[in-house]
Amino acid sequence: MTNTIPALIHLNTVADYLRKKLKNKKIILLFAYNATGKTRLSMDFKGLGKIGGKRDTLYFNAFTEDLFTWDNDLESDECRHLRLNMRSALFEGIEAYDIENRVREVLARYATFNFQIRKEEITREEAEKELYHQSITLENGLFFINYIVFEREVIEDGISKNVSDIKISRGEENIFFWCFFLSIAQLAFDAESPNDPYGWVTNIYIDDPISSIDEMNLVSVACDLAQLLIDEKIQQRFVISTHHSLFFNVLSNALKSGFGRPWEKSLVQYFFRLDDTGQYHLVEEKADTPYAYHLSIIEELRKAASNNTIKVFHFNMMRSVLEKTSAFFGFSAFTDCIKDHPRVQLFARFLNLFSHDKNLTFAYREPDDGQKKLLKEVIDLFLEKYQFNLHNTLPGHKE
């Protein structure tokens, strides 16, 4: 069962709608494809909470990850550090509140590497030459550089030893950022007054907390997050958005199981989409089984092909449909769904190009005639091969 909110023209309007919805819901769960505007929506939501120099939203998104920058030591290739942008409020009180041990406790659930937060004194001359100047703090006339080093236990010749100054993988990096954020959020959960550390936080906005390449931790993070959110002692309100269907499904099911009936009192979930006229839609999903709108996406692709209204973001949508279908049938690659197409490899290259671009202007532009023709051929082949029962399933659209 679905319910479509009237079309919203601006992301700021969507953010305002979500804020109003949180007045009587604890959690809003959003599913949206990449290039829909999820990250920008989180920033608009945060911006609406800034009144008179005060703020109310702690957020995790791509901008949070950008607060950490690798220094890969290109000269000697030995000491690889992760620099901290100390201008961010996220790192306030990093020593006073024992953040390092808080992060380590959370990280132990998901990773085998360890880390240390270091603060190293440097001279004024070194500070002036420092490329990563945002990682420098000035305290009592002294300059310090703030960074993180990672280490891992390895076995060499049957002997266990710690290897330090390593560079962790992208998936490990992402889970570290998430654990760091959770440790900060815990301070907000524990606050008893606005004067306590992060006591100003009334809303928490989380956008894609787990990397698509970290399949091992995806289910664990979703289940652990659900356990946290259903805790009655936590008074903050949450918006969680993701492009990852498995994460959405696991989190949705875990929340509904945790809240019990009627879960609708605490949770509302939407499919957040951008239509071919540039308007935003929030399609509320009320069914007990989440993510029932994949047929709507296939229907929209069919309409875009038949009406010749194909945009670049339709390639992103097609990729998602192919990935889900290939997973269902146990194929090793999403291209196996359309392997009968003579130009399947060319199409795969277009998908890789278009679906990973984060620029909304690029995503919304019109492909050239050859690209349109290729996508239309693939859609027609897909629908002919897999007989979906569509019946105009897309809410708010008419032929």
The DSSP symbol for 54 reads: B
Nearest to 310 by CA among 356, 381, 362, 368: 368
Q: Is 164 exposed, middle or buried (0-12, 13-18, 19+ CB in 10 A)?
A: middle
Closest CA to 15 of 55, 56, 34, 43: 43
Mean pLDDT of 130-139: 88
**233-277 confidence digits (pLDDT tens):** 999 999 999 988 778 888 888 898 888 878 888 999 998 988 878
Report how far residue 231's alpha carbon sits from residue 42's, in angstroms, rounded to the nearest whole number: 23
Would you report the helix, strand and coil content of the chain in percent, each value rounded to 5? 45, 20, 35
pLDDT digits (tens, 9 = 90+) for 321-371: 888 788 777 888 888 888 888 888 888 887 777 765 544 344 446 788 888
* Extended beta strands in the chain, E state: 2-4, 27-31, 57-60, 68-71, 81-84, 114-122, 136-139, 142-156, 159-164, 203-207, 237-242, 267-274, 280-285
Per DSSP, the three-state class of 393 is coil
Higher pLDDT, 78 or 150: 150
Contact 34, 274 (CB under 8 A): no
For residues 38 and 270, is the Cβ–Cβ distance under 8 A? no
How do residues 27-76 score in pLDDT, each as one tens digit?
Answer: 999 998 888 899 999 999 999 999 887 899 999 999 999 999 999 877 77
Residue range(s) in the chain whose domain bears CATH number 3.40.50:
11-56+202-284
Residue 399's pLDDT band, with cuts at 50, 70 and 90, is: very low
d(CA 123, CA 78): 22
Q: Comparing 388 with 258, which gets the higher pLDDT?
A: 258
Domain 11-56+202-284, CATH: 3.40.50
Assign 100 a pLDDT band (cuts: 50, 70, 90): very high
SS3 241: strand
Average pLDDT over residues 175-187: 95
pLDDT tens readout for residues 145-172 = 999 999 998 888 888 888 889 999 988 9
Own/partner pairs, 192-201, CB within 8 angstroms, 24+ separation = 197/93, 197/96, 197/97, 198/58, 200/54, 200/55, 200/56, 201/56, 201/57, 201/58, 201/236
Can you give the pTM of this predicted structure?
0.74
Phi, psi (rounded to 5 degrees) for 69: -130, 130
- Mean pLDDT (whole number) for 168-193: 92
Model confidence pLDDT, tens digit, residues 195-218: 888 889 999 999 999 876 676 788
> What is the DSSP track for 305-340?
HHHT---HHHHHHHHHHHHHHHHHHT-SSGGGGGTT
How buried is residue 119: exposed, middle or buried, by Cβ count under 10 Å (0-12/13-18/19+)? middle
- C-alpha–C-alpha distance, residues 267 and 26, integer Å: 6
Quickly count helices (H) and strands (E) in the chain. Answer: 13, 13
Q: What is the DSSP letter of 51?
A: B
Helix or strand or coil: residue 203? strand
List CB contacts of 398: < 8 A, sequence separation 6 or more: none
In whole angstroms, what is the distance from residue 97 CA to residue 227 CA?
Answer: 24
